[in-house]
Structures are given as C-alpha cells and as structure tokens.
Amino acid sequence: MTRTVAVLMGGWSPEREVSLVSGRACAEGLREGGHRVVEYDVKRDLRALVEFLRPAAGGGPDVVFNALHGRYGEDGCVQGVLEIMAVPYTHSGVLASAIAMDKPMARHVFTSLGLRVASGKVIERRALAAGDPMPRPYVVKPLDQGSSVGVHIVREGDNLAAVELAEAAFGERVLIEQFVPGRELTVAVMGDHAVAVTELRPRTRFYDYEAKYTDGITEHLVPAPVPAEIYDLAKEWALTAHQALGCNGLSRTDLRWDESQPGTSGLVVLELNTQPGMTPLSLAPEQAKWAGISWPDLMTWMVDHARHPS
Ligand SMILES: Nc1ncnc2c1ncn2[C@@H]1O[C@H](COP(=O)(O)OP(=O)(O)O)[C@@H](O)[C@H]1O
Ligand SMILES: [Mg+2]
C-alpha cells in the first residue's frame, strides 16, 4: 500500500538547519522506499500546519514523519498537535519527548531506574558570577537544548564570566555536571532492541556542534572497541531508558565512560534523544546500516512503527 508521508522539518529552534538536512534526507529515503512524500517546513503558524495536515477540502497525509529537532519539535509540543488531530507520527509521544528534552527531569528518571548519571545539579545561571559551583572541570548546559548548543566545559584557566554570558540566551537556570573524562559512546534503540554501541572520537576538544556536523571531524567506531561488560551495559541502559520513558520507534542514548574507574563504575548516561540526527551518515542510521538495515528500509520501518493517537 502506498502511503502519503508528510515529512515535518525545519522549525525555528537553533537546530533548524540540522533538521532541514535530516528532513530532506529522510524524504529521499522514503521516496526510494516507495512512499508518496510531501515535505513541510514548519513555521510558527499553527493554522497553516493544521490545514496542511487536514485540508478543508479533505485528504491529507496518512502519516507524519517527524524530522524536527529541538524545542516545539522534539519536546512534545508538535506531538500534542498530532495527537489532537489524530494523525499517526513517527518517534516518541508527548510525555517521553517532554521528559527526554528536559535534561534534569530525565536525570531524575534515569537515577530512579538505577542508571548512573554524572554528579550534577541545577543552579541559577547568575550564581556562576559568584564563582565555581563545583570543582573544575565541570560542564554547564542549558536545561533543554540539543546538538551541544550552549554546552560549555569549564576547565582550569577558563573564563567563567564568558560562560555565564553565553548561557544567557537559554534561560535563568542551567544544569551543572561534573566533567566525566574518557570515552564518548552512543546507542540507538529500535523498538525493543538496542542496536549497537558506537564510540565517537572527536578530533576537536569535545563533541560540540561543529564536531557533530562537520564531515570527518569525528571518527565513528561501530562496534565500539570497549570491554564486553561496558558494551552490554551501555545497550542495557539505553533500552531501559527508552522503555521507562515510554519512547516509541527510534531513540538514541548518549553515554560517557571513564575507563580509569574499575569495572563498569565509570559508565554514565548523559541523555536520551527522542529525535536523533537522521541523515544516512548520522549515528543511529549508521548503526542500523551496520545491523543490515538500509536507509530506505529504516525509513519504512519508522513509518511502520508510527505512533497511532487513540
Ligand atoms: N558530564 C559531562 N562530562 C563530559 N562531557 C560531557 C558531559 N556532559 C556533556 N558532555 C559533552 O557535551 C556533549 C553534549 O552534551 P549532551 O548532554 O549530550 O547534550 P546535547 O547533545 O543535547 O547538546 C556530549 O556529547 C559530551 O561530549
Ligand atoms: Mg547529546
């Protein structure tokens, strides 16, 4: 059966450009997979979106492929619109999206499940002006951004006032986490299955926006060359987090592993992404490919596993 799939992309978050790249690539993969595809660049015009999804003249897409990132697209807001309009959509629903987008809230859920997180706390951004909230090195991040937008590592000698100023764009409160040295890992989950563990080796100082989206700056090693107990635990935690948050379809969980700590005690979960990057070169699709799932097949799998509002 040929379905009409509407790819929602763009939006107006700081991750707009990333979303447009994801969206176009997904649209292409969906067409290759035999779907009828309509691309839609989401603007802050709810009336237009509603008319697009359910035209007054009748019809409209059978399913939405959500390729949005960041606020409104990844945090449960657009999911709420799709629920109300009873349009099936890919990825997670309202609650899972909202929790995953809110890093402090997600940390509460992870710790309640027995997953380790970096020691951390939420503070008033202005408190940074009074000095270090914990011993350096530590990480300052916005409560609800992605793509490393607004993430700062504060090391010895760094200017804290500059960090405080840079965070001003993201609200009054920030999340502070102890810096976890060592290795960067990520795990994609598809349905009830953790696919693989990838190790990321950025050639810059940390895995920032540039390292994420500039070709060749970051090396992806899949399967990650880490001990079996770390590999298995990373997969187990990603699946546990996905299920506990009530995620749907595909998600991707980011972790760090401090290999100087004994056994698995250096493994921590950083966050779960309900709308991970979706170009053929992105991390989750790369793991799917490693598992034998082609780009068009992955697109079809996602549409087949769309969430159906009741
Ligand atoms: N506590 C931490 N210790 C070390 N590195 C961190 C820590 N928190 C974040 N980072 C680095 O910053 C990157 C982005 O942080 P993350 O929490 O995944 O937010 P997002 O990807 O949503 O911007 C991580 O991939 C990691 O490289
Ligand atoms: Mg991340």
Report pLDDT for 204.
Answer: 67
Contact residues of ligand 1, CB 6 A cut-off: 118, 139, 141, 145-149, 151, 177, 179-180, 184, 206-207, 254, 256, 270-271
Name the stretches of the chain with pLDDT < 50: none
Tokens of 55: 């035209």
Question: Torsion over CA of 94, 95, 98 and 103, rounded to 10 degrees?
Answer: -160
State the number of CA atoms in the 13 A half-sphere of 154 facing the CB. Answer: 24
Tokens of 261: 């700590």
Could you give the 3-state DSSP secondary structure of residue 244?
helix
Tokens of 226: 């880490």
Report pLDDT for 12.
Answer: 94
pLDDT, tens only, 212-238? 666 667 899 999 999 999 999 999 999
Residues whose beta carbons lie less than 5 angstroms from ion ligand 2: 254
The ligand that comes nearest to the alpha carbon of residue 175 is: 1
Give the position, in ligand 1's atom list, of the atom nearest the Cα of 148: 23
Integer Cα distance of 4 and 48 in angstroms? 18
E strands, 179-266, are 183-190, 193-202, 218-221, 250-257
Report pLDDT for 212.
Answer: 66
Report pLDDT for 104.
Answer: 96
Q: How far apart are the first and last CA of the chain?
A: 22
| Domains of the chain and CATH, by start | 4-91+299-304 (3.40.50.20), 99-117+181-274 (3.30.470.20), 120-178 (3.30.1490.20)
Integer Cα distance of 86 and 76 in angstroms? 15
Pocket test of ligand 1: the residue of 101, 187, 270 to mutate, having most ligand atoms within 8 Å of its CB, is 270
Report pLDDT for 259.
Answer: 97
Report pLDDT for 202.
Answer: 80
**Where would I find the H helices in the chain?**
16-32, 46-53, 77-85, 94-101, 103-112, 160-167, 209-213, 228-245, 283-290, 295-304
Closest Cα to atom 14, ligand 1: which residue? 148
